[in-house]
Each structure stands twice: as C-alpha cells, then as structure tokens.
Amino acid sequence: MSRKYFGTDGVRGKVGEAPITPDFVMRLGYAAGKVLVATEHEALHGERPCVLIGKDTRVSGYMLESALEAGFTAAGVDVRLTGPIPTPGIAYLTRALRLQAGVVISASHNPYDDNGIKFFSATGSKLPDATELAIEAALDEPMQTVASRGLGKVKRLDDAAGRYIEFCKSTFPTDMDLRGLRVVVDCANGAGYHIAPPVFHELGADVIAIGNEPDGFNINEASGATHPETLAKAVKKHRADIGIALDGDGDRLIMVDGNGQIADGDRLLYAIARHRHETGQLQGGVVGTLMTNLGTETALRALGCDFRRANVGDRYVLEMLNEHGWQLGGETSGHILCLDRHSTGDGIVSALQVLAALRRSGRKLADIIRDCPVFPQVLINVRVAKGFKLNGQAEIAGAVEAVEDELGDSGRVVLRASGTEPLIRVMVEGRDEAQVNRCAERIAEAVRTAAGV
C-alpha cells in the first residue's frame, strides 16, 4: 500500500497549502492518537497514552502545535510540550520518559514558510511503515471526539532543554574535555540555538555562537549546515580551531577546520569511522547512501572497512544498519547515525564524536580528512510540478543510458525524486570534472524537457 501523505521524513509542505493546514494537522493528530490508543491499550493498563511534541523556531510552529494538541486530546491522548528543541532531542526524551510517541513540528533544512510533522516511536526511532499506514487509514475516518471524561490533558515539560543538554554531554568520553579549543557553533537560527552552545561550553570549549537569534522567519537563512560558507568566514574571523554547523532542526552536521575548509557528512563519517577502526571500536562496517562520494567509499575500503550504500534518506541508512547489526552510517548532507550513542541522527552528538576522535588522536580535522578524497560530483535539482513521475519517461531514460555508457566504470549516475520537495535530483560523479558537469547538465535538460519546465 502506497502512502498518500507520509514521505521519507514525515508529512511536509508549504504552510497554508495541503497538507500543512491547521485542519489537516488536527486530523493527523487525532488519527495518530486513535492508532496509539488502539495499539497501546493493553500495555498501559487502562491509562491514557502520552505523546511529546517539540518544534523548531518557525513562526508557523505555534499554529501547528495547537492543532496537534487539539487532535491528540480529542482522541484521548495526553500531551507534553517542550517548545523549541532539536529533532533528536524529542527522540531521546520520548524514550527516556517512557512515552508512547514523539512528534516534531519542523521542515528541517527548508525555508521558514515550509513546515512538517515527523513522528518517533516509543523507542526513539522513526515510526514503522505499518504504523504510518495505519495513521493514513485512520485519516479517512471521521473525527469522533471521546467523551469529556476521556479527553487528554496538556502540560509543558519545563526541563526538556536541560535534560537533552545532559544527554548530549554524556555521549562524550568522561575522561576527556574540550578545554583549550575555540569553537564557532552555527545554530542556523533553529531549534539548537539554546542547546548546542551550552553543550560545548560546559565541556570546556571557548564557544562563539552564531545563528542563535531566531525570530520565526530566519531559520536556515544564510546560515547553518546548508550555508557552511557563513561558518567558514566566522572560523577565520575569530581564529577558531574548528566550526560546527547544524541545520534548522539540529539533526544535520557540517564542520569547518581551522583553515576554513568545509567537511561535509561524507568526510565526517570517514573521520569517525577511521578513529573507531584504529581503536578497535568499529562494529561491522559503514553505511552510506547512493549519494555518498566515491572518494569516501575508496578511503574506507583502503582502511579495510566494509561499506554499503542505502537509498537516500536517514531512515534507509538506519534500516540497513539494523539489517547488518552495524552502528555507523550517514549521508553527505550531514545526517550521521552513531547507534551506540543515539537512536537517530543527531548533529550535536555527531560533532562530539568527531571532536573525541580529534582529541584522542591528537590530530587536526584537516589531517584526518586529507586521506578522504572528494571525487568531482555534480548535483542539479530540477524543480518539477507536484506529482511528476520519473518512471516511463523515455527521453530521460535515454539520456541516463548515454551518460552511463560514456562514464563506464569510472563514474556513477543517480537520478531520484526528492522525498520532501517537488524536485528531481540529478547526480553525476566521476574522475573528470568537465565530463561530470557536461553529463549532469545533459540529464537535467532531459528532465526539464520531459517535465515541461
């Protein structure tokens, strides 16, 4: 059964347009609540289920939070509110507080006028497919508010930020600190603005915080993991040792070394994997995605590390890690999963794993990632009409086949639809930059022609 509303990362879209409207989000909360009541009834011994709701700093978060509250409480589910907190913080707190589900109101790295709803299970992981499908089925049923005696209640969890800060610090080795390290932390004017700087400061670092003044509209604006050039400039300006950039909901990580060189998720994944391999802590291999740079795969295999590629999306990386019983995986965009530290990708926790590797080895980030080459890789995003399908497009298929024949064994082509936006992503990778650019544009033009844009 295909999903109607859930994408690879929950339900997401433009605020005010279906499905991100107050009435739909209320029904979504109600449908999710009814599924929880039905599935958790026996385990709760007659008590009401309880969910945790957090959000990032978008102005629309207030409206959507209220709509979710109404839907959940109408279904007989209690609600706890955290206010702005990173997505992985909700995953952690849901598990720590033994709640039945966690909900995050966020569109991650997207502009402020987008928003979305993402769910976590009681274990702090993404909802299983079966649960998402059950919620979608419940959305087609009419709302029927429970009797007044059974309505859910809403309370604020006042110490949510402090609890999550302590959790993040607990993932850093207890015999180590960050004293003597000057760090620039770019919070993307997002959910980590009041979380990330204290974490690094309390571990001893001299912290310079930027992107930490959210106003509801400036989330991800020329800042954070999607604009690492801002961090690179700040690192040079403040003569910092290293820079850390999160995205709007705090689950992505991009870092900058003391020279202003940007390290994306691929190279950070390599840095963590190399340290764990050298110290005997790497359990199994490493999982990347179809978009992971070929240079990263080459560098990991040179270490003797097994490497596998999952479909794009951290949920698919997680699925493959669980399938193999491995712990470390990630995406070029900066989603990094360290399953021995957290149940989901966490930008702050991942940064601490990189810093632990640097501290333990005595090396600088530039020294470690030097052995992880970056092969020329071009990504072109072609905006298409909503609902455009790649399947059956003969002109596109012909362009891809021609490029693959030209590249042979020295390159790769990945063509896929975005799971969160109406985009077709065209990625071409190889050893010759001019050839890669030419091939990527050839496929992108075929997509534009087929899509009529």
Same domain, 34 and 148: yes
Alpha helices, DSSP H only, in 218-346?
228-237, 265-278, 294-303, 314-324
The pair of three-digit structure tokens given for residue 376, joined into one six-digit string: 């020329």
Query: What pLDDT does residue 112 have?
Result: 98
Specify if 172 maps to a domain.
no
CA distance 106 to 112: 9
Residue 274 and residue 394 in one domain: no
Residue where one domain finishes, among candidates 211, 233, 261: 261
Indicate the residue among 228, 261, 294 that finishes a domain: 261
367 contact partners, CB below 8 Å, separation of at least 6: none
State the Cα–Cα distance between residues 158 and 412, nearest whole angstrom: 49
Other residues' Cβ atoms within 10 Å of the Cβ of residue 401: 11
Predicted confidence (pLDDT) per residue in 295-335, tens digit: 999 899 999 999 999 998 898 999 999 999 999 999 999 99
**How sure is the predictor about 89, in pLDDT bands with cuts at 50, 70 and 90?**
very high
Active site residue 108: yes
23 and 135 together in one domain = yes
- Are 37 and 151 found together in one domain? yes
Is the residue at 289 inside a domain? yes
**Domain count within the chain:** 4
Distance in angstroms (rounded) separating the CA atoms of residues 367 and 377: 22
In the chain the first and final C-alpha atoms are separated, in Å, by 31
- Answer whether 169's CB lies under 8 Å from 203's CB: yes
Shared domain check, 205 and 123: no
Please report, for the domain that includes residue 93, its CATH number.
3.40.120.10
Q: What is the pLDDT of residue 42?
A: 66
Residue type, 9: D
pLDDT value at position 41? 64
Can you give the CATH number for the domain in which 416 is found? 3.30.310.50
Nearest one of 303, 296, 332 to 317, comparing CA atoms: 332
Residue range 87-109: average pLDDT? 97
Answer yes or no: is 164 within a domain: no
Co-location of 321 and 427 in the same domain: no
Which of residues 159, 188, 221 is at a domain's end? 159
**Residue 31 Cα distances to 106, 115, 141, 190, 208, angstroms:** 19, 19, 8, 28, 43
Closest to 89 measured CA to CA, from 171, 27, 13, 154: 171
Classify 231 as helix, strand or coil. helix
Residue 395 within a domain = yes
Mean of per-residue pLDDT scores for the chain: 95
155 and 15 in a single domain? The answer is: yes
Residues 52 and 126 in one domain: yes
Residues 153 and 101 in one domain: yes
For residue 156, what pLDDT is reported? Answer: 97
> Does residue 170 belong to any structural domain of this protein?
no
> What is the residue range of 244's domain?
180-261
pLDDT digits (tens, 9 = 90+) for 349-371: 999 999 999 999 999 999 999 99
Q: With a cut of 70, say whether residue 190 has pLDDT above it.
A: yes
Task: Give the ranges where 363-452 is alpha helix by DSSP (H).
Answer: 365-369, 394-407, 433-451
Q: Are residues 51 and 142 in the same domain?
A: yes
Which pLDDT does position 60 carry in this prediction? 98
In a domain, 189, yes or no: yes
- The least confident of 132-136, 248-252, 409-413 is 409-413
Contacts 24+ apart (CB under 8 A), 280-286: 282/327, 282/328, 283/325, 283/326, 283/327, 283/328, 283/340, 284/324, 284/325, 284/326, 284/327, 285/324, 285/326, 286/326, 286/328, 286/329
Look at residue 343 in the predicted model and tell me its pLDDT: 95
Domain-located, residue 40: yes
CA distances in angstroms from 303 to 241, 263, 297, 306, listed in the order given: 27, 19, 10, 9
Query: Does residue 165 sit within a domain?
Result: no
Position 124 confidence tier, pLDDT thresholds 50, 70, 90: very high
247 closest CA partner among 65, 114, 87: 87
Task: State the average pLDDT over residues 232-261.
Answer: 97
* Choice among 108, 125, 223, 350 that is catalytic: 108
Q: Average pLDDT of 40-46? A: 72
Q: Are 147 and 17 in a shared domain?
A: yes
Same domain, 75 and 147: yes
Give the pTM.
Answer: 0.90
